[in-house]
Structure 1
Amino acid sequence: LGQLKNHFPDVPIMGLTATADLATRADISLQLNLKAPFIFKGSFDRPNIRYNQVTKYKATDQVISFVKQQEGSGIIYCNSRSKVDDLAMALARKGINSAGYHAGLEPNIRDIIQRDFIQDKIDIIVATVAFGMGIDKSNVRFVLHFDLPRSIESYYQEIGRAGRDGMPAEALLLFDEKDTSRIKQWISSGENPERNAIELQKFAAMEAFGEAQTCRRQVLLNYFAEYSAGHCGNCDICLDPPKAFEGTVEAQKVLSCILRLKQSVASQYLIDVLRGKQLKKIIEQQHNELSTFAIGKDKSDAYWHNIINQLIHRGFIRVDITQNAVLKLTEEARPILQKSQDVQLAVPRLDMNFGNQKSWQTPDYDRALFAKLKHLRKKIAEQDDVPPFVVFSDASLADMANKCPESEVEFLDIHGVGQTKLSRYGERFISTISAHLNK
């Protein structure tokens, strides 16, 4: 592509991209051989999307719990086909209207799944990143990342498929420190050292986003050089700021247990010992006789999993992925075990209930009327063989359920309504609204 400017020096050339940090923008200009080009950059901020991060533990159960709280369409991204198949099956067993999508499926099957999702016949797609390019479905209400993306750019593009109608949407990231070690190993195994270094740098930014203790929107926007000084008020950090506590005793329990287990077990086994579980493998190894056995029985598995992740993040523990992810102590752990250093930790976030969080500009409208209008929209869409959001977006339906127009003049005041949609659909929607109000 860089040769085009040489062959056609006087022809205007435009380069377009959805997401690019400063280095990528400079690289685009260099590769296209553009000399001091004019650069137009829109805002990266999507204020209607709420960012949430939860420590990943029993992830399938977490997904099911989250999905049951949501309304409307959603996309769940996994980093492998096998995870897509397993998770889609687990959702189906719970009666959740979903389907799996990845490049291993036959093209005609993928086409059917994609079409059914666009037409609201399937509520939730579980997919690899093979799904999403070219998907223009305005009423996706959430995007959930089952696994950590490899870059902020990928994450931003994938969550950008939510809330395109401007209505509140959710982006949930399940984060596990151990996943980061595996991803770094995959990236480092690439054949091009220069490319590996760039990919590792990009992944470090994604890891920092997941570990953030400050406004996540700030972290995201700052990455794209759209610096923001204020907090967004619409992410988990802003809505429920992390609460610190004196965690030295908890840290000592974990670190001393790792030491007594001879730094040879993974996190779940460690938790089983801490909580005093009388499991066959623990008894056979006589680990039930250790002084650290059951010293953490008053807390849940999820609690200790979160504490372990924090200690990994703080550099007191490392995950040895060459030995089946066993936990090993670092030199930084020594002062804590010797009681010469205190540790402040964050109170673990274990709740998957986001219902009490106030969304950004949550519209005030009649939910019962909205459901009736949504049903009418789907009926019309099926008759016309078009996606429902082509008839009206969720934002338009919410505006109708708020303003309750009963005349053509009032209906024209609805978001997204012009003369064409008034003449095509106005009578049926006004009739439904009137019937609801007069019930």
Structure 2
Amino acid sequence: MASLQQSLKQYFGHDRFRDGQEEIINQALLDRDLLVIMPTGGGKSLCFQLPALLKKGVAIVVSPLISLMQDQVMALQDNGINATFLNSTLDYTEVRRREEAILAGKIKLVYLAPERLVSEKFQQFLQLLTSTVTISFFAIDEAHCISEWGHDFRQEYRQLRQLRFRFPNIPLMALTATATTRVQKDIITQLNFKNPAIHRFSFNRSNLYYEVQPRQKRTYQQLFNLIRRLDGSGIVYCFARKTTEDLASRLTQDGISALPYHGRLSDEVRSNYQNSFIRDDVRIMVATLAFGMGINKPDVRFVIHHDLPRNIESYYQESGRAGRDGDPAKCILLYNPNDEYKINYFIKQKESIQEQKISYQQLKKVIEYAETNYCRRIIQLSYFGERFRGDCDGCDNCLNPKEFEDCTIEAQKFLSCVARCNEKFGIKHIIEVLRGSTSDKVYKYGHHLLSTYGIGKDKTVEEWEYLGKSLVYQGLLNQTEDSYKILKLNKDSWEILRQKKQVKIAVENTNKNRVIHEYHPKALEVELLMQRLKKLRKKLADQENIAPYVIFGDSTLKIMAQMQPKNLKSLAKLSGITEYKLNKYGHYFIEEITYFLNEENLTVALPTTTQMKTLQLYQQGLTIPEIAKERGFAVSTIITHISELIELNQSIDIDKFVLSKKKEVIVNTIEQMGDQSLKTLKEKLGDNYSYDEIKLVKAWYKRMKN
């Protein structure tokens, strides 16, 4: 029998397992019940797909959305793996044909919705299946849907509890990307697991960059500028349906392909729009929360939240749709404090007072995330019960750290008050005592008699609250995970009280220093080849009517562009290349790489030192005015640098500086008038076109003609 590593390469083209995958797969092969909580992009699917191929019989996979199961089956089939799905898109004849193939032992994985799985008619089919080819195990994907405490509870998932009673000897595997401790316990209880192996991984996704920007009054312009500076596919999440339509329409008018997505569109339209996005026919999806779980697109490079999400779990899920391939991606929240009032309105519509209370607590946590001066991952991960010390090097606060002030004396006052209140109260009560409140609660517990009563009148409630939260963020004070959020002293707390430890609190830093990353000329050649390989991949995908990533992921194309294999034997050694895909697509990509390397005009003139410095800042996403400010030059000088870099065939996207419809008009004018001066072209084009725009397009046109 082949080793697990050999099977991994044979079926999926990977050279090694990701963290935890091998142990999970080994336990699945031993017929253990399994609960797997693994963040998006961690490789959950492989944990049930590979054992399904190695075990006798067929694996039954429960998936909540039609689009999700169809995408996964398509990807498996393109790896030469016998997988199928059964759902409402198939007519009776096709369902019967697929069921016959399953009973004949020709299929290793069957994807279906929970409603079909628990239906009486399908249960009869499963009973027949157990007595013929056998069922290897049941895999329940998106398992948080089974819990009423999960962020996306679905009543039909609750019926899956029948599986253990009807098939007591068949192992169960539940998988999800997000599950609090409460949800984990509920999943185990509902599915009646037998001595399950629980695999819970860190929720930290280090490839994602998190940033919060104040939402400006000219929000569309802010969003448009952001998208123009970012590369690749992106999702923009909005609170309201009308906003999705308005933004998608304006982006399209301004030359950025975009589509709206919301719950009031017909199923057919939503499906068509989603396919357009997945297959790279459209770059941006502007969506409400109706768009999400069914997206199996690994190469989303950014997610922007136009409005404040309702809770941390939703934000983690939605922002987590970026970078599922493990490559760097950006998650940006445009924050306006007034969003709180909109969300409060919807919370008040809930009938249950308890649900309202929970929703208010969740909203408060999101606001805390948006307003913190500390590492954003501290707040995000604490929601899932995970301690994180900060310094993630992957959020705006860590990359642009705030200045720190010595607040040891204030911290000693705060911690002393916590101690004198016997560590039985939360931040709000401690602040009331410090500020000398005359509230009934303070007098009820006799806290007006404490030595710390009223010693903090010199600071506002907000200042004390920020100090208390800062102590918790830094691990200098503990806070219980229940709804009461009781403060508890720890070892560090006592060291502060005994004057053995200083406390420094972050404040806004107006002097932010930007790090300049080193530029490597070789990276240009790799980037140019990468773009060529992407175009080839898209062409092949369109011919087969599949998503481009199904052929090869971006990470595999990047390795091809870096290693530049000259033959199929060399290509076969790269990660992500299975024997099946090598035979099916290999010669196309070898041909493209060979053609690229043999081109006569491949040599690219290198920029001068000053041009290179401008190029470095451009590659970091700065606008032309920002580059000019950073370098201490006039904007016109930077425009000249950019124009020269374009002519030198450097990798610069002119669409980030000039709208595509304007570029088209300028090009037509140049073709009509010939190589005229900027002044002559400007007189012809009129006041709607600036000298800078004409200069950039003229450089781009010259490069394209050469």
Per the normalisation by structure 2, the TM-score is 0.45
1:67 aligns with 2:67: no
Q: Contact conserved, 1:396 with 1:416, CA < 8 A, in 2?
A: yes
Once residues 148 and 313 of structure 1 are traced to their aligned partners in structure 2, the CA distance between those partners, rounded to angstroms, is 21
Greater share of helix residues, 1 or 2? Answer: 2
Indicate the residue corresponding to 1:163 in structure 2: 323
Q: In the alignment, is the contact (CA less than 8 A) between 1:137 and 1:389 conserved in 2?
A: yes
Aligned partner (choices 186, 201, 210) of residue 42 of structure 1: 201
**C-alpha contact (below 8 Å) 2:373/2:507 kept by paired residues:** no
Secondary structure of the 1:54 match is: strand
Q: CA deviation at 1:48?
A: 1.0
- 1:52 has 2:214 as partner: no
Mapped to 2, the partners of 1:33 and 1:413 lie a distance apart of: 44
Match of 2:259 among 99, 106, 117: 99
SS of 2:198's equivalent in the other structure is coil
1:25 maps to a residue whose letter is: Q
Match of 1:409, SS state, is: helix
Residues of 2 paired with 1:404 and 1:13: CA distance?
43
Deviation at 1:83, TM superposition (A): 1.0
User: What is the aligned partner in structure 2 of residue 373 from structure 1?
Assistant: 533
Q: Counterparts of 1:87 and 1:9 in 2: how far apart (Å)?
A: 50
Figure out how many residues of one structure are paired with residues of the other and give that number.
341
Q: Which residue identity is paired with 2:536?
A: L
Q: Is the 8 A contact 2:261 2:287 kept in 1?
A: yes
Once structures 1 and 2 are overlaid, which stretch shifts more, 206-215 or 33-42? Answer: 33-42
- Give the structure 1 partner of residue 281 of structure 2: 121
| Separation in 2, partners of 1:64, 1:44 | 31
State the Cα distance separating 1:364 from its structure 2 match. 5.5
Does the C-alpha gap of structure 1 residues 27 and 99 become closer, same or farther in structure 2, counting only changes over 3 Å? Answer: same
Question: How far apart in 2 are the matches of 1:438 and 1:9?
Answer: 61
Extract unaligned runs of 5+ from structure 1: 246-310, 317-343
- Using the alignment, how far apart are the partners of 1:410 and 1:68 within structure 2? 37
Indicate the residue corresponding to 2:549 in structure 1. Answer: 389
Equivalent of 1:346 in 483, 496, 508: 508
Pair 1:59–1:19, CA change in 2 (3 A): same
Contact 2:541 2:551 in 1 (8 A): yes
Identity %: 38
* Structure 1 counterpart of 2:179, one-letter code: A
**Aligned partner letter, 1:48:** N
Alpha-carbon distance between aligned partners in 2 of 1:138 and 1:211, rounded to the nearest angstrom: 30
Q: Does 1:400 align with 2:575?
A: no
Counterpart of 1:24 (choices 155, 162, 183) is: 183
Task: Tell me, yes or no, if the aligned pair for 2:298 and 2:322 is still in contact at 8 Å.
Answer: yes
**What does residue 198 of structure 1 align with?**
358
- The yes-or-no answer on 1:130 pairing with 2:290 is yes
Alpha-carbon distance in structure 1 between the residues aligned to 2:461 and 2:215: 14
Cα deviation code 1:15-60 (max 9, x no counterpart): 5433122233344445556698653323322211111111111321
- In structure 2, relative to structure 1, the CA distance for the partners of 1:43 and 1:315 (3 Å cut) is closer
Q: 2:400 aligns with which of 222, 240, 250?
A: 240
Q: Which moved more, 1:205-214 or 1:18-27?
A: 18-27
For 1:88 and 1:313, the matched residues in 2 are separated by 39
**1:182 match:** 342
1:115 and 1:148 map into 2 onto residues whose CA distance is 27
Structure 2: distance between partners of 1:416 and 1:9: 36
CA distance, structure 2, for counterparts of residue 14 and residue 384 of structure 1? 33
Q: Residues of 2 paired with 1:234 and 1:148: CA distance? A: 20
* 1:438 to 1:55, Cα distance in 2 relative to 1, 3 A: same
Residue type of the partner of 2:341? S
8 A Cα contact 1:188 1:200, kept in partner: no
Provide the secondary structure at the position in 2 that maps to 1:110: helix
The SS at the match of 2:565 is: coil
> CA offset at residue 226 of structure 1?
2.6
Which position in structure 2 is the counterpart of 1:208?
368
Aligned residue in 1 for 2:639: none
Paired letter, 1:142: F
The structure with the larger Rg is: 2
* Shift of residue 7, structure 1, vs aligned partner: 5.5
Q: TM-score, normalised by structure 1?
A: 0.70
Deviations 1:112-167 (A, max 9, x none): 11111111101110000111222101111111111111111111111221111111
Partners of 1:209 and 1:357 in 2: CA distance = 28
CA–CA distance in 1 between the matches of 2:564 and 2:286? 36
**Structure 2 residue identity aligned to 1:104:** R
Q: How far, CA to CA, are the matches of 2:234 and 2:516 in structure 1?
A: 19
Q: How many angstroms apart in 2 are the aligned matches of 1:394 and 1:178?
A: 39
What are the superposed Cα offsets for residues 245-304 of structure 1, whole Å, 9 maximum, x if unpaired? 9xxxxxxxxxxxxxxxxxxxxxxxxxxxxxxxxxxxxxxxxxxxxxxxxxxxxxxxxxxx
Matches of 1:62 and 1:183 in 2, distance apart? 23
The 1-side partners of 2:360 and 2:191 are apart by 25
- Whether 1:153 and 2:322 are equivalent positions in the alignment is no
Paired amino acid for 1:167:
D
Change (3 A) 1:393 1:33: closer
Deviation at 1:313, TM superposition (A): 7.2
Residues 140 and 164 of structure 1 are in contact (CA less than 8 Å); yes or no, is this contact kept in structure 2? Answer: yes
Specify the SS of the correspondent of 1:396: helix
2:239 aligned with 1:79: yes
Question: Does structure 2 conserve the Cα–Cα contact (< 8 Å) formed by 1:53 and 1:236?
Answer: yes
Quick one: which amino acid aligns to residue 199 of structure 1? S
Aligned residues of 2:233 and 2:284 also touching (Cα < 8 A): yes
Letter in 1 for 2:261: Y
Q: Among residues 586, 597, 602, which one is paired with 1:426 in the alignment?
A: 586
Structural RMSD (CA): 3.2
Contact 1:218–1:231 (8 Å) recurs in 2: no
5+ residue gaps, structure 2: 1-157, 406-459, 466-505, 600-706
**In structure 2, what is the Cα distance between the partners aligned to 1:379 and 1:10?**
48
> How far apart are the structure 1 equivalents of 2:279 and 2:194?
45
CA distance in 1, matches of 2:462, 2:238: 23
**Larger RCO of the pair (alpha carbons < 8 Å, separation 6+):** 1
Distance 1:434 1:30 in 2: 57
Secondary structure at the aligned position of 2:236 is classed as strand
